[in-house]
């Protein structure tokens, strides 16, 4: 499983400034595991996994 994921991320071409194909693959992989997934203005892929509420 981990090796397959690694191959999936490393296969697409992603020269500096042209990482869209890799970001799309990572987005596909993470989409069911995170609470938020988006791209910022600079093109970075941001994944947010929220924790449990603090106990008082």
Q: What are the extents of the domains in the chain? A: 2-48
Q: What's this model's pTM, rounded to 2 decimal places? A: 0.74
Q: At what angle do helices 20-30 and 2-10 cross, to 10 degrees?
A: 150
User: Among all chains, which residue has been given the structure tokens 């970075």?
Assistant: 44
Is the separation of the CB atoms in 24 and 37 below 8 Å?
no
User: Among all chains, which residue has been given the structure tokens 């020269």?
Assistant: 15
Residues 12-53 pLDDT 10s = 877 777 788 888 999 999 999 999 999 999 889 999 999 998
Structure tokens at 39: 């791209």
Bigger pLDDT: 11 vs 26: 26
Is the separation of the CB atoms in 36 and 47 below 8 Å?
yes
Q: What is the DSSP letter of 10?
A: H
């Amino acid at each position: 499983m981990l090796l397959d994921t690694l191959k999936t991320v490393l296969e697409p071409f992603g020269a500096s400034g042209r990482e869209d194909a890799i970001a799309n693959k990572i987005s596909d992989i993470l989409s069911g595991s995170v609470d938020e997934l988006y791209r910022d203005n600079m093109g970075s892929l941001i994944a947010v996994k929220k924790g449990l509420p603090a106990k008082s």
